Amino acid sequence: MAATVLIWNNHLRPVGNSYCGHAAMIIDSNWKAMASSYVSWWPESEEDNNSSPSLSVFADLSEENYAPDHILRIPVFNTNAAMSKWAEIRNKPKSTYRFLRKNCSTIVSRVLLAGNTKPLGFGVSNNLIWTPIRVKRLADAMGAERKEWSWLIDQFVSAGVLPEGMRVHLSKLAKRDSAHGSSTTVCCYAQGYKIYQQPLIILNGKTIGKQDLGTEVFSLQHNTIKRGVVEQGENGKRRAVFYT
């Protein structure tokens, strides 16, 4: 069986545009069963250290607002061992989130190591602090193959997770920055400048992207796809206005 790792790169600066990034994974190829096989670890809120597992890639896309920087497919993987580890972590009473010691990357690394079938160097499999890029290095050491964003969309459409009509709209999502990633050549920023306006995608209540004025909007609700644009409302707030 195979596993798929998703990486949104971290980019931390003392001053300026910083983001923590994120690591997640899909333990097997049963795309319709992501509620049990999707590994993603978030704090319940910014105010506490309680944990909250995310149950789908679409929830993470909504949090990150961009396509993943890296999509890594591990072709040989012990999915049963990984599923057992994930169930153990997820079902632990009063589970916690710690920014440095028990973050999203920490949890994904534990599940990856549980399902690993290859000998690994100590420096790859042991890190005091796990980050998204270190999870990527671990996946690479486990024999991961690089996949494109379009490949992941194909899997969702083929499995019936998404309707065919959403393929072209989701394919317009871009990675954040030209400096990061291999999942797509389309990016929103390059050398600090915005070069591409991706659409706003709404998937059954999950919003992916930014509500910039004039942005195209594509919404999927109860298998119905609508198209619209972001406009300024009478109260001054931006909103999606649909015309199809």
Rounded to whole angstroms, the Cα distance separating 54 from 59 reads 7
Parts of the chain with a pLDDT under 70: 11-19, 43-54, 93-102
Residue among 177, 173, 151, 212 at smallest CA distance from 66? 173
The reported pLDDT for the residue numbered 137 is 96
C-beta of residue 29 within 8 angstroms of C-beta of residue 38: no
The reported pLDDT for the residue numbered 101 is 59
The reported pLDDT for the residue numbered 145 is 97
The reported pLDDT for the residue numbered 100 is 47
Residue 125 DSSP symbol = H
Record the pTM: 0.90
The reported pLDDT for the residue numbered 18 is 56
What is the number of other CB atoms lying within 10 angstroms of the CB of residue 126? 11
The reported pLDDT for the residue numbered 212 is 93
Rounded to whole angstroms, the Cα distance separating 45 from 184 reads 31
C-beta of residue 86 within 8 angstroms of C-beta of residue 111: yes
